[in-house]
């Protein structure tokens, strides 16, 4: 049984076999994303109670907190894929790492943006040099560094290796940066505003937040699978299976041009 499983694992780590598998599961994850998003948004707008201190404006945390969680989770997953890609030379892992980065950057930006919108009515300012905000901003810089290094190198294999190494260096540094920023903050600002939520959160609020997190998670899977399929096609365009795939669809030798039309 275990042997069988491991064979399937190796089987699908080949881009050629992963491409159709990803294509098959994408609709299912789309379904999950939309269902969770509908339920989550309904709960967050109509069911979750109004906060007694912050009023209605607090409801943006149902986007904000899941986005912030996802931004950190994605960086971690990206670094794990980078390690797998560098250590075992699994091409698919490199492709997954590069497919994850834009979505991670998007969630980081979303977390910062919604945080600013939440901060204005709650703290009276869009931006505070608070430890969490600052670390989230630095996380955005790390994502941008990863993406720009990857796009600056023309050779895709070298680009994958170099950016993978950068992701690993970044993930080692993240906790150091986080704790430094936290200490810096307590030294500079004392106890001013803090984005920590009320310690006792209503169960419905927590449930809603978790549902939204799972919605974002499923969305990430969908988008990353779609993006990785594109990356597979782009990097494997010289191989016979890609030519066959598009040969069958466009019924011509000029697969790329035929596909675009």
Partner 1 sequence: MSDGVLTSGRQRGLFAAWRAMLVRDLTLAMRRRADVLTSLFFFVIVVSLFPLGVSPEMAVLRGIAPGVIWVAALLATMLSLGRMFADDHQDGSLEQTLLLPHPLSMLVLGKVLAHWLVSGLPLVLLSPLLGMQLGLEGEAIGLLMVTLLLGTPVLSLIGATGAALTLGVRGGGVLVSLLVLPLYIPVLIFGTGAVDAGISGMDYEGHLSLLGAFLVMALLTTPLATAAALRISVE
Q: Which residues bind partner 1 (CB under 8 A)?
A: 138, 141-142, 144-145, 148-149, 152-154, 158, 161-162, 165-166, 168-170, 172-173, 176-177, 180-181, 183-184, 187
Helices (H), 89-235: 91-123, 131-152, 156-189, 203-235
Closest separation in Å from C-beta 139 to partner 1: 9
Minimum CB distance to partner 1 smaller for 229 or for 235? 235
Contact between residue 146 and residue 166 where contact means Cβ atoms under 8 Å apart: yes
Dist. CA 182–CA 188, nearest whole Å: 10
Minimum CB distance to partner 1 smaller for 11 or for 188? 188
Calculate the alpha carbon distances from 238 to 92, 155, 201 in Å: 16, 15, 55
Closest separation in Å from C-beta 67 to partner 1: 20
Minimum CB distance to partner 1 smaller for 166 or for 243? 166
Closest separation in Å from C-beta 119 to partner 1: 22
Residues 6+ away with beta carbon under 8 Å from 3: none
Closest separation in Å from C-beta 109 to partner 1: 15
Minimum CB distance to partner 1 smaller for 139 or for 212? 139
Minimum CB distance to partner 1 smaller for 90 or for 162? 162
55 phi/psi in degrees, rounded to 5: 70, -145
Closest separation in Å from C-beta 77 to partner 1: 19
Which two structure tokens, joined as six digits, stand for 175?
């906790």
What are the beta bridge partners of residue 51? Answer: 55
């Amino acid at each position: 049984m275990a042997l069988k499983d491991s064979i399937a694992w190796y089987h699908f780590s080949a881009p050629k076999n992963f491409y159709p598998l990803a294509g098959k599961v994408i609709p299912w994850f789309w379904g999950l994303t939309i269902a969770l998003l509908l339920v989550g948004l309904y709960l967050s707008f109509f069911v979750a109670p109004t906060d007694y201190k912050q009023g209605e404006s607090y409801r943006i945390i149902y986007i904000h907190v899941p986005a912030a969680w996802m931004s950190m989770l994605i960086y971690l997953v990206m670094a794990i894929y980078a390690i797998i890609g560098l250590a075992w030379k699994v091409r698919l892992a490199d492709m997954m790492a590069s497919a994850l980065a834009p979505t991670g950057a998007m969630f980081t930006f979303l977390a910062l943006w919604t945080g600013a919108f939440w901060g204005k009515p709650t703290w009276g300012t869009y931006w505070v040099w608070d430890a969490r905000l600052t670390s989230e901003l630095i996380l955005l810089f790390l994502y941008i560094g990863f993406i720009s290094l990857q796009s600056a190198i023309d050779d895709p294999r070298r680009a994958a290796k170099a950016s993978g190494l950068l992701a690993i260096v970044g993930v080692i540094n993240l906790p150091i940066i986080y704790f430094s920023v936290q200490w810096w903050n307590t030294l500079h600002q004392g106890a001013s505003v803090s984005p920590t939520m009320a310690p006792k959160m209503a169960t419905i609020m927590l449930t809603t937040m978790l549902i939204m997190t799972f919605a974002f998670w499923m969305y990430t899977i969908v988008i990353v699978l779609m993006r990785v399929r594109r990356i597979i096609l782009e990097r494997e365009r010289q191989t016979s299976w890609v030519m066959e795939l598009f040969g069958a669809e466009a019924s011509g030798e000029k697969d790329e041009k035929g596909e675009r039309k």
